[in-house]
């Protein structure tokens, strides 16, 4: 029998003895630690920790949680324990460009994204054939009917498929503040610029105009403040001044798709801690 594995995430004000308390509780309740990653952010006095562990025959999630709750209270911890067998349901939203969608579907097919993808939604019909070739339901929504009505349609589909995370894979619609608030920290967007520079429309044109020598992409949580949500992952590529804007766009596509998948992977592995508007990604 394969034993179940779990992931515990903890964040709290820094204090002596936290790690011993956490690891002691896991050992006491019958868990075997597989991996522990921890960071004390001395600049802000915060502690972040992520522990993977396997449950032995005596381990139960209930008794662990009961035991851990007492520790958590004494250290003012924010904490979650995840059963790794439970896959998160991820809805993918797209418009007309396919490279980010393909990347997610191919990585998922290769077993490199540990989630379910129950539904793909778009404001255009163009990519329906890709959804179809991967046997995933595809829905078209219509922003032209007004933001409120259209977002209601969208959320209806998300609810129907039990979506827990929304990935904007070059989805070219700005979400309303209400939508962002309801889905806070559950929407990951790929921005095709190296944030915080070049937010908003046509970032590659902005970058070319400015004459930057390196371009990039940013995976971040969507917030009401456009392209300014907490950054999860970024990557860059050097460009020559002999490149045209079109070449920036072509070269940028490879960066975008990689960054988006890496951002989603970090979310799925519970590696992201949020604090005061920024992330701490602990790998």
To its own copies, the closest distance from the beta carbon of 65 in angstroms equals: 18
Site string for its own copies, 196-225 (x = CB under 8 A): xxx---------xxxxxxx-x---------
Contact (CB, 8 A) for 282 and 36: no
Out of 84, 227, 241, 276, pick the active-site residue.
227
Tokens of residue 49, six digits: 């920790």
- Rounded Cα distance between 202 and 258, Å, is 20
To its own copies, the closest distance from the beta carbon of 44 in angstroms equals: 10
Residues near 194 by beta carbon (within 8 Å), at least 6 away in sequence:
207, 214, 215, 216, 217, 218, 234, 236
56 binds its own copies, rule: CB under 8 A: yes
33 binds its own copies, rule: CB under 8 A: yes
Residue 137, classified by CB atoms within 10 Å of its CB into exposed (0-12), middle (13-18) or buried (19+), is middle
Kindly tell me which residue out of 234, 252, 256, 260 binds its own copies, with binding defined by CB under 8 A: 234
Contact (CB, 8 A) for 272 and 232: yes
75 binds its own copies, rule: CB under 8 A: no
89 binds its own copies, rule: CB under 8 A: no
To its own copies, the closest distance from the beta carbon of 141 in angstroms equals: 25
- Rounded Cα distance between 227 and 195, Å, is 8
The distance in angstroms from the start CA to the end CA of the chain is 28
148 binds its own copies, rule: CB under 8 A: no
- Rounded Cα distance between 79 and 22, Å, is 11
User: What phi, psi does 264 have (nearest 5°)?
Assistant: -65, -40
Peptide bond into 140 cis (omega under 30): no
To its own copies, the closest distance from the beta carbon of 131 in angstroms equals: 13
Kindly tell me which residue out of 71, 128, 172, 236 binds its own copies, with binding defined by CB under 8 A: 236
128 binds its own copies, rule: CB under 8 A: no
Contact segment (CB under 8 A) with its own copies among 63-71, 140-148, 172-180, 239-247 equals 239-247
17 binds its own copies, rule: CB under 8 A: yes
Site string for its own copies, 178-197 (x = CB under 8 A): ----------------xxxx
Give the other-Cβ count within 10 Å of 233's Cβ. Answer: 23
- Rounded Cα distance between 182 and 179, Å, is 5
- 225 tagged catalytic: no
Task: Catalogue the active-site residues.
Answer: 227
Binding site for its own copies (CB under 8 A): 16-20, 23-24, 26-27, 32-43, 56, 98-99, 102, 106, 110, 112, 133, 194-198, 208-214, 216, 230-231, 233-236, 240-242, 244-245, 250, 253-254, 258, 277-283
């Amino acid at each position: 029998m394969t034993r179940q594995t779990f992931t515990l995430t903890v964040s709290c004000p820094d204090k002596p003895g936290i790690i011993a308390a956490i690891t002691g509780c896991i050992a006491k309740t019958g868990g075997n630690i597989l991996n522990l990653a921890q960071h004390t952010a001395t600049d802000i006095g915060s502690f972040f920790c992520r522990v993977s562990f396997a449950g032995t025959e005596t381990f139960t999630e209930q008794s662990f949680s009961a035991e851990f709750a007492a520790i958590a209270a004494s250290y003012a911890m924010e904490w979650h324990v995840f059963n790794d067998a439970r896959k998160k349901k991820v809805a993918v939203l797209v418009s007309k460009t396919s490279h980010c969608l393909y990347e997610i579907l191919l990585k998922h097919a290769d077993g490199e994204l540990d989630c379910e993808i129950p539904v793909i939604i778009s404001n255009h019909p163009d990519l329906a054939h890709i959804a179809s070739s991967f046997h995933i339901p595809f829905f078209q929504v219509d922003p032209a009917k007004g933001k409120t009505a259209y977002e209601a349609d969208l959320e209806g589909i998300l609810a129907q498929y039990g979506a827990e995370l929304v990935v904007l894979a070059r989805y070219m619609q700005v979400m309303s503040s209400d939508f962002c608030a309801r889905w806070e920290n559950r929407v990951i967007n790929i921005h095709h610029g190296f944030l915080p520079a070049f937010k908003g429309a046509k970032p590659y044109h902005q970058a070319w105009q400015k004459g930057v020598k390196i371009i990039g992409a940013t995976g971040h949580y969507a917030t009401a403040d456009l392209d300014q949500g907490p950054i999860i992952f970024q990557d860059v590529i050097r460009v020559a001044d002999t490149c045209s804007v079109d070449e920036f766009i072509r070269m940028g596509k490879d960066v975008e798709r990689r960054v988006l998948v890496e951002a989603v992977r970090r979310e799925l592995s519970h590696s992201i801690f949020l604090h005061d508007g920024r992330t701490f990604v602990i790998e």
